[in-house]
Amino acid sequence: MSISACVSSALKKTGLKQNDLAAAYGKSKQSMSMKFSRDSWFAKDLVKVAKLVDADLAFVFKDGSKIIIDTDDQEE
């Protein structure tokens, strides 16, 4: 699954839309749509998405262990 598809799923699960994410970014609907179509995501973008959908951003290993990225300490 692409990162854009994962972000879309996270938004859908929380009842949010791309427009809500665009507003959180301070970007236009069109520029956010381009980000999705190009699948051009940076780590800092995923931190913002995690905050918006009130979720953890983590590495989950096959043995079940996790490293959770603390999204509260990330620079804007």
pLDDT digits (tens, 9 = 90+) for 26-70: 999 999 999 999 999 999 999 999 999 999 999 999 999 999 998
Structure tokens at 13: 């699960």
Residue 76 has pLDDT above 60, yes or no: no
Structure tokens at 75: 């620079």
The predicted model scores a pTM of 0.85
Average pLDDT, stretch 19-26? 93
Domains of the chain: 3-73 (1.10.260)
d(CA 46, CA 56): 10
Let me know how long the chain is: 76
Contact call for residues 55 and 16 (beta carbons, < 8 A) = no
- Using CA atoms, how far residue 44 sits from 11, 62, 63, in Å, is 17, 25, 27
Which segments within 1-76 are labelled E, that is strand?
A: 57-60, 66-69
